[in-house]
């Protein structure tokens, strides 16, 4: 879940075996109606993936004034994937998050303007990646192992936040 102004976006996994044979990632958009109350949301399907992987995609979202950025896993044999909706061009095709692999799990993202900060767990270490918009795609910086020198041997389930000064904080 993330918000920009008064608009709230929620990304989640969906599977109903009575309706489909595949799982889906859904994006719900909540806007305030009359009187400022949030009414029935709109939703769209972002991707489909095998129902055998339902519950493990772990989608996360960063919603900014420039884009919607969604990170998820599609299966157990590949790295993290992403899709972006640029407000001036629409949704991109699914793309890999560089320097991630089958061990890259439990992502978290935060964004500001045309920048995103990505953290994830990999083999009990926390990794960080920064990306910024370059044309209609992302330019990724090198991967940083945040666990190195932390004094902890096991590092799991990172979260990330951005302060008013655009500083990223990973916990």
pLDDT in tens, 54-72: 999 999 999 998 899 999 9
Cα separation of 4 and 1, whole Å?
11
Check residue 53 and give its pLDDT.
96
Q: For residue 158, is it left (φ>0), alpha (ψ between -120 and 50) or beta?
A: beta
Residue-range definition of the domain harbouring residue 160: 2-170
Sign of CA dihedral 41, 64, 170, 149: positive
Query: Per-residue pLDDT averaged across 125-150, rounded?
Result: 93
Query: Per-residue pLDDT averaged across 34-47, rounded?
Result: 90
Average pLDDT of the chain, as a whole number: 93
Cα separation of 77 and 21, whole Å?
20
Which residue is associated with the tokens 């953290």?
Answer: 119
Sign of CA dihedral 94, 66, 127, 155: negative
Q: In the chain, how many domains are there?
A: 1
**pLDDT over 90, % of the chain:** 77
Check residue 165 and give its pLDDT.
66
Check residue 80 and give its pLDDT.
99
Exposed/middle/buried for residue 45 (C-beta within 10 Å: 0-12, 13-18, 19+): exposed
**Helices (DSSP H) in the chain: which residue ranges?**
none
pLDDT at 153 over 90: no
Cα separation of 14 and 25, whole Å?
6
pLDDT at 101 over 80: yes
Cα separation of 59 and 24, whole Å?
11
Contact of 25 with 70, CB cutoff 8 Å: yes
pLDDT at 147 over 70: yes
Half-sphere exposure of 27 toward its Cβ, with a 13 Å CA cutoff? 24
pLDDT at 74 over 90: yes
Check residue 164 and give its pLDDT.
75
Residue 116 token pair: 């995103």
């Amino acid at each position: 879940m993330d918000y920009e102004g008064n608009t709230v976006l929620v990304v989640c996994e969906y599977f109903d075996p009575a309706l489909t044979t595949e799982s889906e990632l859904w994006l719900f958009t909540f806007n305030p109606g009359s009187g400022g109350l949030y009414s029935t949301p709109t939703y769209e399907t972002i991707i489909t993936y095998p129902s055998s992987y339902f519950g493990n995609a772990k989608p996360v979202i960063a919603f900014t004034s420039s884009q919607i950025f969604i990170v998820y896993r599609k299966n157990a044999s590949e790295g993290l994937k992403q899709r972006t909706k640029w407000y001036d061009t629409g949704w991109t095709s699914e793309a890999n998050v560089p320097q991630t692999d089958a061990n890259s799990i439990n992502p978290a993202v935060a964004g500001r303007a045309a920048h995103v900060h990505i953290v994830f767990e990999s083999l009990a270490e926390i990794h960080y990646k920064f990306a910024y918009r370059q044309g209609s795609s992302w330019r990724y910086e090198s991967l940083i192992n945040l666990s190195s020198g932390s004094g902890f041997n096991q590092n799991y389930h990172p979260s990330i936040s951005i302060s008013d000064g655009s500083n990223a904080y990973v916990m």
